[in-house]
Amino acid sequence: MIRFENVTKRFGTHTVLDGISYDIHHGETFVIVGRSGSGKSVSLQNMIRLLTPEEGRVWVGDDCISEAEGADVTRILARFGVLFQSAALLQWLNVEDNVCLPLRQTQHLPEDDIRARAAEKLALVGLEGVGDRMPSDISGGMRKRVGLARAIVTQPEIIVYDEPTSGLDPVISRQIDLLIDNLRQRLGVTSVVVTHDLYSALKIGSRVAMLHEGRFAVCAPPEEFVASSHPVVRDFLRAQGIADMDDVRKAFDT
Amino acid sequence: MITREPQIVDPPANTFAAVGRALIQAWQGAGRGLMMLLGAAAQTPFLFSRKNRADVMNQLYLVGIKSLGVVTVVGLFTGMILALQVGLELRRYGQENSIGTLVSISMLREMGPFMTGLVIAASVGSAIAAQMGTMTVGEEIAALDVMGISPLRYLMMPRLVALAIMMPLLTVYTNLLGIFGGAIVGASQLGISWEAYFDNAFRYAENKDLYVGLFKSFLFGLIIVTVACYQGFTATEGAVGVGRATRRTVITSFLLILVVGYFVTRLFYQ
Amino acid sequence: MKFKKQVIIESTVGLFSFAVLAALFLLTVVLNQESLFRQQRPVEIVFDNAMGLRVGDVVSARGVTVGKVKQIDLKRDGVHVMALLTTGLHLREDYIIEVQPTSVLGGRYLNIHEGNPDLPPLHPQPQVLTGTASADLIDSATQTIEDIRLALNDGILEDAKATMTHLRKIATRLGEGEGTLGQLLVDDAVYAEVKAIAANLREVSDKLVKGEGTIGKLMHDGRLYDDAQVVAANLRDVSDRLAKGEGTMGKLLGDDDQAYQDLAATLTAWREMSEAIASGEGTLGRLVADEEMYLELKGLVREGRAALDDIRETSPITTFTSIFFGVF
């Protein structure tokens, strides 16, 4: 579905991604974890063309998004729904208008259809009856969910989550994780998640990849990831107090 | 895509390299700003489309109506100051009756568009830069790009239309208030009757003065919106970057208004 | 709620735009100074020199603004000025159209003198009217000063110097009691006679000042001073000749006492004559008293002037006097 081919990204003399290659399969949830500044967001931005690699290519299906131009970029990007770290809601539009925005601006649909679809997606993320509120009047967690509703309102094939749980308390974070998992099951979409929260990663990921010094230290399903003997992974797991998958399950049981 | 990845280059080797790089960057910026202006102008056919109509109307309201207060004060006092300064000087030659002409011609040709331009650059221009800058650093512009919504069409075009329409209208308003302000000073301080003042004011001014002034203010509108959007869309580094974008918008707009104003005058009055 | 807000915004913007556009329309009309409903009459006037007239300057007739200059073209036969008038003009044959300065600081307007209303109207009005070159305030002042300077350099100073030298010579000789006039100054009898003559002359001159009689009229007639200039020119000639001892007056200044004797006799006769003039007797007396002779004399003077013109030799003085009288 998405393929990175020897992607190298440099900022000046600093190499962030060093010839990285991986495939994301249709319908899976691919989680990229790593410490701050390890390049996980850069990897994601290369995927949605906010950055282009110095070397290598990024493929989305049969399209090379890293080398596409003009209208092709727009066409390829239409397959994505993106939840930004800050939710990136327009502050002067209320919740409903924010969710309706991509439909209103990019598709020719009757206003009633647009509103119905927005209401449906808002219900899907558990936000009924807040359509009239302004983004500044709702909590961070709600904002993320509005952002998510907006990302899925165009019915994308791929949903990209940039730090979906950052800045949220653990309870809300777990709710968001369950929501992501839920969406994958109900909509059958491919998901790409970038996070530093290992609980989320291990809970929702089909595969979890650890970025370290521009390369993947480990890329494996959650059970294998937890069992990895790679020192960077072990440090990371220890820092978040995870010894095995039971710790993750317990976190979601409460 | 209006969002660009950051250009990271090595620090310049010496002063000459730094100057050269600054020049190249200024040139690049001018080119990109102009491309943005053309891109937004190309979207104006969608002015009345369902998607943009409300935004355009809101921007017209923000630029036109919300600026009326400050434009009123500025226009009135510009005329009053002109009349007082020139009037006192002309009185020495017994020619204070001519202030009507002087005030009306200088308002129509130069001061009206110029003062309106400065007020709008400082108020609306800085507001646009701050808003666009905040949206840029808050990933909202990137989000629009990824959603397939052109920021040029969705954000810049309504502002461009609003300024291109409202700047000349506000200039007409400033001109009238300036001429009226001159009349107040003429009547109260220089002892010139209202009839004599207005007769003088409209006798020697021509339609050319009025419309060249309006053309200028139209250009000023384009300058303000282009500079503000360019600075906003290229803002980086969070709140500091937004502040810098705002400051640069005001400075660059002021300079361009002065320089372009001169060249337009040069073009029409040789 | 939201709908209402949008309606308010739209109405406010619309209202403002319409108000300003209406103001713009009015301003355009006012600045054009064109009445929309009144007919405009185009007039074309050709000048040799437009004297700095500009498009948009006012056209004035009898002190009333009647239109505006619309267009100025430089053509081979002159400067063609197109003006749009709001009223019709009643031009006569001697109409004058000239460019006048608005103030010393600058600015011009087109002034139309329609001409003497007693003359027949200009009919049909020609396609292109002719403008008159008019004096510019500063230009004419500069020209005058230049004329005076030239005249002073070119003869007058020399003439004045020569005249002064002669006068000094005469005064010296008079003071020494030389010649007939010298004796006049020391002889009381002659003094009494001269005094009587002077009294009569004053009477005559009073009449002249009041404009009575032919000579009085002449003095109040503006054209006379042209002739007076010629007389003045001749005076110099006379003073030259006096100094050389030529002619009767020259001899008076000479050493011969005979002339003095003659003068004494003459003065007696002159006194009688001046008394007769004062009382209106004889031809010259009538000249002073009789107004009917004015016209005849005027004709005579005109002929005399024509004759004098031919022998005019002292043009600098003429220029000077014309400037002198011209200024006042």
Q: Which of C27, C33, C105 is closest, CB to CB, to B95?
A: C105
Which strands form A207-212's sheet, in the order they lie side by side? A80-83, A158-162, A190-194, A29-33, A207-212, A215-220
pLDDT tens for residues C67-88?
Answer: 888 888 888 888 888 888 877 7
Nearest CA in chain A to B144: A102
pLDDT tens for residues C275-305?
Answer: 766 666 655 555 555 666 566 656 666 665 6
Q: Could you tell me which residues are beta bridge partners of residue A218?
A: A210
Q: How far is B8 from chain C (nearest CA, A)?
A: 44
Q: How far is C12 from chain B (nearest CA, A)?
A: 7
- Give chain C positions within 8 Å (CB) of B60: 13
- Give chain C positions within 8 Å (CB) of B172: 20, 23-24, 27
Q: Would you tell me how many other CB atoms lie within 10 Å of the CB of residue C15?
A: 11
For the segment C202-216, the average pLDDT, to the nearest whole number, is 63
CB contact under 8 A, C16 and B65: yes
Place of tokens 């309606």: C7
- Residues of chain B with pLDDT below 70 are 1, 5, 8
Two tokens, residue A164: 């979906």
Q: Looking at this protein, which amino acid is placed at residue B126?
A: S
CB contact under 8 A, B148 and A78: yes
- Average model confidence (pLDDT) across chain A: 84
pLDDT tens for residues A19-66?
Answer: 888 888 888 888 888 888 788 888 888 888 888 888 888 888 888 888
Give the β-pairing of A215-220 and C78-85.
unpaired
CB contact under 8 A, B64 and C103: no
**How many degrees, rounded to 5, is the angle at CA C111 between CA C110 and CA C112?**
120
How distant, in Å, are the alpha carbons of A208, C126, C176, C187 from that of C180? 147, 71, 11, 10
For the segment C32-55, the average pLDDT, to the nearest whole number, is 74
Q: Which of C20, C23, C30 is closest, CB to CB, to B202?
A: C30
CA pair distance A161, A41, nearest whole angstrom: 10
Q: Could you tell me which residues are beta bridge partners of residue A89?
A: none
- Give chain A positions within 8 Å (CB) of B6: 11
Asked whether the predicted pLDDT for residue C156 surpasses 70, the reply is no
* Total beta-carbon pairs less than 8 A apart between chain A and chain B: 59
- A226 vs C218, residue with greater confidence: A226
Contact A46, A58 (CB under 8 A): yes
Contact A24, A1 (CB under 8 A): yes
Residue B174 confidence (pLDDT): 94
Residue B120 confidence (pLDDT): 94
DSSP string over C143-170: HHHHHHHHHIIIIIHHHHHHHHHHHHHH
Q: How far is B13 from chain A (nearest CA, A)?
A: 15
| Residue B60 within a domain | yes
For residue B75, give every residue at least 6 positions away whose Cβ sits within 8 Å of its Cβ, in sequence order, or none.
B112, B115, B116, B173, B174, B175, B176, B177, B178, B181
CA pair distance A232, C276, nearest whole angstrom: 149
SS3 label, residue C99: strand
Which of A184-219 are b and which e, b meaning 16 or more Cβ less than 10 Å from the residue's Cβ? beebebbbbbbbbbbbbbbbbbbbbbbbbebbbbbb
Asked whether the predicted pLDDT for residue C31 surpasses 80, the reply is no
Place of tokens 């300036």: B178
Contact B216, B167 (CB under 8 A): no
Number of domains in chain B: 1
CA pair distance C120, C115, nearest whole angstrom: 10
| Residue B2 within a domain | no
Give the β-pairing of C64-75 and C58-61.
antiparallel
| Domain hosting residue B159, numbered range | 15-268
Q: Which of C3, C11, C18, C20 to mutate to test the interface with B (most CBs of B within 10 A)?
A: C20
Residue C148 confidence (pLDDT): 74
Q: How confident is the model at residue A110 (pLDDT cuts 50, 70, 90)?
A: confident
Residue A51 touches chain B, beta carbons under 8 Å: yes
Q: Looking at this protein, which amino acid is placed at residue C124?
A: P
Asked whether the predicted pLDDT for residue A153 surpasses 50, the reply is yes
- Give chain B positions within 8 Å (CB) of C14: none
Residue C314 confidence (pLDDT): 45
Residue ranges of A 195-234 with Cβ closer than 8 A to chain B: none
Asked whether the predicted pLDDT for residue C1 surpasses 80, the reply is no
Length of chain B: 270
3-state secondary structure chain A: CEEEEEEEEEECCEEEEEEEEEEECCCCEEEEECCCCCCHHHHHHHHCCCCCCCEEEEEECCEECCCCCCHHHHHHHCCEEEECCCCCCCCCCCHHHHHHHHHHHHCCCCHHHHHHHHHHHHHHCCCCCCCCCCHHHCCHHHHHHHHHHHHHCCCCCEEEEECCCCCCCHHHHHHHHHHHHHHHHHHCCEEEEECCCHHHHHHHCCEEEEEECCEEEEEECHHHHHHCCCHHHHHHHHHCCCCCHHHHHHHHHC
Q: Would you tell me how many other CB atoms lie within 10 Å of the CB of residue A51?
A: 23
CA pair distance B90, B103, nearest whole angstrom: 12
- Give chain B positions within 8 Å (CB) of C105: 93, 95, 98
Q: Could you tell me which residues are beta bridge partners of residue C73?
A: C80
Neighbours of chain B (3+ CB pairs under 8 A): A, C
pLDDT tens for residues A5-29?
Answer: 888 888 878 888 888 888 888 888 8
Of B163-172, C101-110, C206-215, C314-323, highest mean pLDDT:
B163-172
CB contact under 8 A, A12 and B51: no
Residue B232 confidence (pLDDT): 92
For the segment A208-236, the average pLDDT, to the nearest whole number, is 84
Chain B positions with Cβ closer than 8 Å to A: 1, 3, 5-6, 8-10, 50-51, 135, 138-140, 142-143, 145-149, 154
Length of chain C: 328
Asked whether the predicted pLDDT for residue A184 surpasses 90, the reply is no
Q: Looking at this protein, which amino acid is placed at residue B74?
A: V
For residue A114, give every residue at least 6 positions away whose Cβ sits within 8 Å of its Cβ, in sequence order, or none.
A100, A103, A104
Q: How far is A238 from chain B (nearest CA, A)?
A: 32
Terminal alpha carbon distance of chain B: 43
Contact A243, A199 (CB under 8 A): no
CA pair distance B202, B199, nearest whole angstrom: 6
From A3-17, A63-77, C88-102, C204-218, the region with the lowest mean pLDDT: C204-218
Neighbours of chain C (3+ CB pairs under 8 A): B
Q: How far is B212 from chain C (nearest CA, A)?
A: 12
CA pair distance C210, B129, nearest whole angstrom: 89
Which of B186-195 are b and which e, b meaning 16 or more Cβ less than 10 Å from the residue's Cβ? beeebebeee
Q: How far is B29 from chain C (nearest CA, A)?
A: 34
Residue B75 confidence (pLDDT): 94
Q: How far is A159 from chain B (nearest CA, A)?
A: 12
- B100 vs C215, residue with greater confidence: B100
Q: Which of C8, C16, C60 to mutate to test the interface with B (most CBs of B within 10 A)?
A: C16
- Give chain A positions within 8 Å (CB) of B8: 11-12
Asked whether the predicted pLDDT for residue A223 surpasses 90, the reply is no
Q: Which of A11, A80, A89 is closest, CB to CB, to B146?
A: A80
Length of chain A: 254
CB contact under 8 A, B57 and C13: yes
For residue C269, give every residue at least 6 positions away whose Cβ sits within 8 Å of its Cβ, in sequence order, or none.
none
Dihedral over alpha carbons A127, A128, A134, A138 (to 10 degrees): -40
The beta strands (E) that lie in C53-141 are given as 58-61, 64-75, 78-85, 96-103, 106-113, 128-130
- C220 vs A96, residue with greater confidence: A96
Residue C289 confidence (pLDDT): 59
Residue C326 confidence (pLDDT): 45
How distant, in Å, are the alpha carbons of B91, B200, C55 from that of B98? 10, 6, 19
Contact B44, B157 (CB under 8 A): yes
Contact A39, A9 (CB under 8 A): yes
Domain definitions of chain A by residue range: 2-79+158-253, 88-155
For the segment C240-269, the average pLDDT, to the nearest whole number, is 61
* Total beta-carbon pairs less than 8 A apart between chain B and chain C: 57
Q: How confident is the model at residue C311 (pLDDT cuts 50, 70, 90)?
A: very low
Two tokens, residue B116: 């309106």
Residue C313 confidence (pLDDT): 46
CA pair distance B112, A87, nearest whole angstrom: 44
Q: Which of B61, B135, B147, B152 to mutate to test the interface with A (most CBs of A within 10 A)?
A: B147
Q: Looking at this protein, which amino acid is placed at residue C3?
A: F
Two tokens, residue B153: 């069409």
Asked whether the predicted pLDDT for residue A181 surpasses 80, the reply is yes
| Residue B6 within a domain | no
Asked whether the predicted pLDDT for residue C144 surpasses 80, the reply is no
Residue C36 DSSP class: S
Residue C318 confidence (pLDDT): 46
Q: Looking at this protein, which amino acid is placed at residue B257?
A: I
Nearest CA in chain A to B147: A102
Two tokens, residue A49: 């063309």
CA pair distance B235, B248, nearest whole angstrom: 11
Residue B64 φ then ψ, to 5°:
-80, -60
Residue A155 touches chain B, beta carbons under 8 Å: no
Q: How far is B162 from chain C (nearest CA, A)?
A: 11
Nearest CA in chain A to B49: A105
Chain C positions with Cβ closer than 8 Å to B: 6, 9-10, 12-13, 16-17, 20-21, 23-24, 27-28, 30-33, 55-56, 58, 103, 105, 107
Terminal alpha carbon distance of chain C: 84
Among the four given CATH numbers 3.40.50.300, 3.40.190.10, 2.70.98.30, 3.60.15.10, the one describing domain A2-79+158-253: 3.40.50.300
